[in-house]
Amino acid sequence: MANHTFLIHGDNMENNRVMFIVLDGAPFDVLFPLAQENILPNFRMLIDKGCFNLLHSTIPPFSPVAMPSLFSGKNPGKHGIFGFGRVEKGLFKPYLSTSMPEGTLWDILSSINKKVILLNVPWTFPPFKVNGIMISGPPIPGNRAKSYPSNLISILESKIGHYPPDLNLDLGAHENVGYIGLDQKSFLHEAYLVTRRRAEAMYYLMKNYEWEFFLVVFTTLDRMQHVFFGYFDEESPLFDSEKREYLTNYFKEIDSIIGKVASLLNENDYLIIASDHGFEYVHKYVGINNLLVNGNFAKKRSDRQVFTIEKIFNFIEKIGIKDYTKFVPMKIAQFAGRVLPRDLDYARSRAFGVPAGYVSINKGALKNDSKYEVFKKALVDFFYSIRDESSGEKIVEKIYDTREIYHGDHTSDAPDLVIAFKRGYEPNLWRNDAIEQVRPIEKKTVRTGSHSGLLAQRGILVISGNGIKEKFRSEANIVDVAPTILHISGIPIPRDIDGRVLKEVFKPETKFSQRSTTYDELSHEKEKSKYKISRKDEAEIVDKLKKLGYI
């Protein structure tokens, strides 16, 4: 594509194409050493030709919280996404593309007529109009990709074959939740299949369609590390030298894809690679709600309480009726898996766990607002006091008050606390016991990797292109990526962005370093999807999130 110039705020700026690759969960403390050792030669090349930065993620380092910050440059208190969904009238409603904040990179670039391509960006289902192409990313009902324009996915699949947005998690497991019990060989085969098909789609779109900003997210790296990171990390109690190679070889696969992308770019293009968070090993699961019940902060629901939909279906199955949809309307059956978890009596619970280590205080259960601060302190003291009975060690590393670490209109919507457990402990909502040992299963998958602790806040940011310092290392925050991309593209930065332009990565003599950062007061509204979400679509998304262990 021929370069052209355009006028913004009176400055005649060159149109620099930006290739932005997001590697879901790529940890700095793994990729940087592997690159230095030349095990990942293409990442090593990028270290030599550009900058390789430590990127600090959000708190918690959880994709639904971190990716909106990565793509908008705003802290969670402004973008308002704190998990995979919200509860409305007792029903869990998953976040979709309509939930993403306004003012993302693609909103801004599309609004000034920049050609954009989005491939597999999470929370872009249902797809919506952009100035270019969108192939929606997970979560997606039925693992069937949708696109804007709507016929684009058919064109793509006619060229590369079936395109799966995410892994198929029905791999020989009778009841799979959180990557546990899948056939290990099939899981590995599926991971490579999805990754390679994603790469093929990326190459095809890069070569055959006009673009000035290309964003692709490789989510399968996150899935692989959830299963194998505990075997990979030499400091993990589960370390296994043979299984370590599963992840090493997969990192090599990603490295080869990066090398191919670099070969397709021209001398005026910029390659940016980032991760939304890092990773750490898991050897014990922690049930936050178990702990809260044990500490008398929450009340477990009594078996004598009124019937719930779950109890009705459990009874039907116990008497031998497996296909209850013959007797129960499908709409009710679909709702059954989406009700608010009934293990807690929420009316009588003063606090309850939320995915990713969040804890919410039920202000309605407190007698008055003056009790809030006193109760919150008691809750903090309680979590800091918890010890693992098997080792005698405390299990909580740090507790954050979201009112202190977030700012913006949505801060009051956030859960009250973030509990960062010590390395090796992963927070879940419920377990059979409050603290459970991870137990490997022969030839089956087990969740041995997590991204909830402090170490998992350490992601990567690679920047390469003309005018970028070579062999440069620095540190950045996840909200700094979006304004830096806008600066490279010659686009004024919205004033409500929290991040800064990383001017230290540019050579002093370049225009990027010398020109001042410009700001824009205008808002950039996103397009609304015209795709109608059915209850069946919604139920399938919730089911996938459950299988991933996220809700």
CB atoms within 10 A of CB 168: 13
Per DSSP, 176 falls in state -
333 in the same domain as 218: no
Tens-place pLDDT, residues 117-128:
999 999 999 999
253 in the same domain as 166: yes
Higher-confidence residue of 247 and 1: namely: 247
Mean pLDDT of 417-443: 95
CB-based burial of residue 119 (10 Å sphere; 0-12 exposed, 13-18 middle, 19+ buried)?
buried
Higher-confidence residue of 253 and 336: namely: 253
Mean pLDDT of 346-358: 90
What confidence category does residue 171 fall into, taking pLDDT thresholds of 50, 70 and 90? Answer: low
446: left (phi over 0), alpha (psi -120 to 50) or beta: beta
Tokens coding 79: 């973008």
Residue pair 107/524 in contact (Cβ under 8 Å)? The answer is: yes
Query: What pLDDT, on the 0 to 100 scale, is given for residue 366?
Result: 84
187 in the same domain as 46: yes
CB atoms within 10 A of CB 338: 22
CB-based burial of residue 161 (10 Å sphere; 0-12 exposed, 13-18 middle, 19+ buried)?
exposed
Query: What pLDDT, on the 0 to 100 scale, is given for residue 111?
Result: 93
Query: What pLDDT, on the 0 to 100 scale, is given for residue 525?
Result: 60
> At 417, is the secondary structure helix, strand, or coil?
strand
396-404: long-range contacts, CB 8 A cutoff, minimum separation 24: 396/420, 396/421, 396/422, 397/421, 397/422, 397/423, 397/453, 397/454, 398/454, 400/59, 401/376, 402/76, 402/77
Per DSSP, 300 falls in state B
Residue 374, pLDDT above cutoff 80: yes
What confidence category does residue 88 fall into, taking pLDDT thresholds of 50, 70 and 90? Answer: low
> At 78, is the secondary structure helix, strand, or coil?
helix
Residue whose C-alpha is closest to residue 168's, from 186, 156, 181: 186
Mean pLDDT of the chain: 87
Query: What pLDDT, on the 0 to 100 scale, is given for residue 13?
Result: 41
322 in the same domain as 253: no
Tens-place pLDDT, residues 473-505:
999 999 999 999 999 999 999 999 999 999 999
Per DSSP, 528 falls in state P
Query: What pLDDT, on the 0 to 100 scale, is given for residue 10?
Result: 34
Per DSSP, 26 falls in state -
Is residue 503 assigned to a domain? yes
Query: What pLDDT, on the 0 to 100 scale, is given for residue 522?
Result: 57
Residue whose C-alpha is closest to residue 411's, from 79, 123, 98: 79
Residue 381, pLDDT above cutoff 80: yes
CB-based burial of residue 106 (10 Å sphere; 0-12 exposed, 13-18 middle, 19+ buried)?
buried
454-479 burial, b at 16+ Cβ within 10 Å, e below that, comes to bbbbbbbbbbbbebbbeebeeebbbb
Higher-confidence residue of 330 and 48: namely: 48
144 in the same domain as 84: yes
Is residue 426 assigned to a domain? no
Is residue 244 assigned to a domain? yes
Mean pLDDT of 441-447: 93
Query: What pLDDT, on the 0 to 100 scale, is given for residue 320?
Result: 55
> From CA 377, how far away is CA 419, in angstroms rounded?
13
Count of domains in the chain? 2
Mean pLDDT of 243-253: 98
Is residue 488 assigned to a domain? yes
323 lies in which domain range? 302-342
Mean pLDDT of 98-114: 92
What confidence category does residue 317 fall into, taking pLDDT thresholds of 50, 70 and 90? Answer: low
| Residue finishing a domain among 310, 325, 342 | 342
53 in the same domain as 170: yes
> At 445, is the secondary structure helix, strand, or coil?
coil
**Which of 98-102, 201-205, 368-372 has the largest mean confidence?**
201-205
78 in the same domain as 219: yes
236 in the same domain as 158: yes
Is residue 290 assigned to a domain? no
Instruction: Transcribe 192-206 into DSSP letters.
Output: HHHHHHHHHHHHHHH
Tens-place pLDDT, residues 320-344:
554 544 444 443 444 333 334 457 8
Tens-place pLDDT, residues 505-520:
999 998 888 888 888 7
> From CA 309, how far away is CA 337, in angstroms rounded?
9
Is residue 199 assigned to a domain? yes
- In degrees rounded to 5, what are phi and psi of residue 548? -75, -10
> From CA 280, how far away is CA 451, in angstroms rounded?
6
Helices 241-264 and 28-36, interaxial angle, to 10°? 80
Residue whose C-alpha is closest to residue 462's, from 443, 447, 476, 446: 476
Is residue 396 assigned to a domain? no
Tens-place pLDDT, residues 528-551:
655 667 778 888 888 778 777 776
Containing H/E element for 398?
strand 396-401
Whether the bond into 138 is cis, omega within 30 of 0 = no
What confidence category does residue 346 fall into, taking pLDDT thresholds of 50, 70 and 90? Answer: confident
Query: What pLDDT, on the 0 to 100 scale, is given for residue 3?
Result: 34
217 in the same domain as 150: yes
Please tell me the total number of residues recorded for the chain in this structure: 551
Q: What amino acid is encoded at 69 in this protein? A: S
Residue 308, pLDDT above cutoff 70: no
- HSE-up (13 A, CA, CB side) for residue 180: 12
132 in the same domain as 56: yes
Residue pair 139/550 in contact (Cβ under 8 Å)? The answer is: no
CATH of the domain at 40: 3.40.720.10
CB atoms within 10 A of CB 129: 14
Q: Maximum distance among all alpha carbons in the chain?
A: 77
197 in the same domain as 337: no
| Residue finishing a domain among 342, 364, 392 | 342
Residue 460, pLDDT above cutoff 50: yes
28 in the same domain as 115: yes
Is residue 326 assigned to a domain? yes
